[in-house]
Amino acid sequence: MGLGGYASRVAESMQSCKRAKITGLISGTPAKLDEWGAKYGVPEGSRYNYENFDKIKDNPDIDAVYVITPNALHHDQVIRVAKAGKHAICEKPMALNAAEGEEMIAACAAAGVKLLVGYRLHFEAKTLEVVRMRSEGEFGKIKFFQGQCGFRIGDPNQWRLDKALAGGGAMMDIGIYAINGARYMVGEEPIWVTAQETKTDTVKFKEGVDETILFQLGFPSGAVASCLSTYNMNYLDRFFLNGEKGFAELQPSTGYGPIEGRTNKGKLTQPHVTHQTQQMDEMAGIILDGNEPVVPVDGLEGLKDLKVIDAIYRACATGERQELKLV
């Protein structure tokens, strides 16, 4: 659902999938439905628009819908997918805020369908190796995580810079990687957050659209995280995890190209697989075969990030530390 730029990347990557397959299309643009339908062999009967896609409930070729639309649309669309009896994969951020996220989880539970969030890095080999090393104690007690996520965004007219469609700015799009990364790298749920916003371009980044936010997370063990979310800097994309006995550095840590990294034990050498190919096959396994991923990708996982985002925006607005209750 939503045949834009990122959906194109997913669709191309899925051509190498073993378990996942494009069996339906949803778009508001008839020409895209024709083009994609021909390209990926999706028959006309499995092509839908935003008015009629509830009819997927009668289509046995469709098991799940990957919602890849602007953030503000996720809530209603996922609930419609659930009501049509299909599993939902929702691109991150799962919704505009935690309240929406909770409604989506409830709707999917009520419909008896799974809700997954498009956290492709949860299946990425170097990332998972660092998670394994941390969970097996190879870094010792974890003390610190740093996530620097951002890039200089281009076209000022894109939906990502429209508060009504994006629900915010860099934090909703790229900052969430640092939040999510902090949680799976440290291996704990944060209990507080502080945040500071700065804006150097008020033309491009209008009211409610964050350009740059620094935020800090505190964890029950006393570990802390220091993160950067920005739409106005390049040369970032670094994760750094520090423990009493070792460290891991991933740079790039979240981009689509190969993730590169090292630990105190040396360079990470796990082979690169196109993230979206890996993700879609793994998600097919979760949906169709009941597989359990090492790092969760379910609605609750998405909701936790939304709770942190809500708190970050409150912290920016008030200047006050926000307590978190993710579990």
Active site residues: 92, 177
Out of 198, 257, 265, 269, name the contact with a copy of itself by CB under 8 A. Answer: 198
Strand partners, 212: 198, 230
Task: Classify 135 as helix, strand or coil.
Answer: helix
Q: Does 270 bind a copy of itself (CB under 8 A)?
A: no
| Structure-token pair, residue 134 | 């941390």
CA atoms of 61 and 183, how far apart (whole Å):
36
C-beta of residue 223 within 8 angstroms of C-beta of residue 144: yes
φ/ψ of 299, rounded to 5, equals: -60, -35
Q: Does 152 bind a copy of itself (CB under 8 A)?
A: yes
Strand partners, 87: 64
Q: Does 276 bind a copy of itself (CB under 8 A)?
A: no
Q: Does 318 bind a copy of itself (CB under 8 A)?
A: no
Candidate ranges 30-38, 57-65, 78-86, 242-250; the one touching a copy of itself (CB under 8 A): 242-250
Q: Does 29 bind a copy of itself (CB under 8 A)?
A: no
Q: Does 222 bind a copy of itself (CB under 8 A)?
A: yes
Determine the size of the site formed for a copy of itself (CB under 8 A).
35
Nearer to a copy of itself (CB atom), residue 125 or residue 214 = 214
Nearer to a copy of itself (CB atom), residue 97 or residue 226 = 226
Out of 125, 128, 191, 233, name the contact with a copy of itself by CB under 8 A. Answer: 233
* Angle at alpha carbon of residue 9, lines to 5 and 13, rounded to 5°: 165
φ/ψ of 91, rounded to 5, equals: -65, 150
φ/ψ of 312, rounded to 5, equals: -65, -45
Q: Does 230 bind a copy of itself (CB under 8 A)?
A: yes
| Structure-token pair, residue 315 | 């912290």
C-beta of residue 160 within 8 angstroms of C-beta of residue 173: yes
Out of 19, 21, 143, 163, name the contact with a copy of itself by CB under 8 A. Answer: 143
Q: Does 242 bind a copy of itself (CB under 8 A)?
A: yes
CA atoms of 309 and 70, how far apart (whole Å):
17
C-beta of residue 98 within 8 angstroms of C-beta of residue 109: no
Candidate ranges 24-32, 76-84, 120-128, 145-153; the one touching a copy of itself (CB under 8 A): 145-153
Nearer to a copy of itself (CB atom), residue 105 or residue 178 = 178
Nearer to a copy of itself (CB atom), residue 229 or residue 274 = 229
Q: How many other C-beta atoms lie within 10 A of the C-beta of residue 130?
A: 26
Q: Does 176 bind a copy of itself (CB under 8 A)?
A: no
The helix (run of H) or strand (run of E) holding residue 80 is: helix 71-83
Nearer to a copy of itself (CB atom), residue 41 or residue 319 = 319
Which chain residues interact with a copy of itself by CB under 8 A? 141, 143-144, 146, 148, 152, 194, 196, 198-200, 212, 214, 216, 218, 221-224, 226, 228, 230, 232-236, 242, 244, 246-247, 264, 319-321
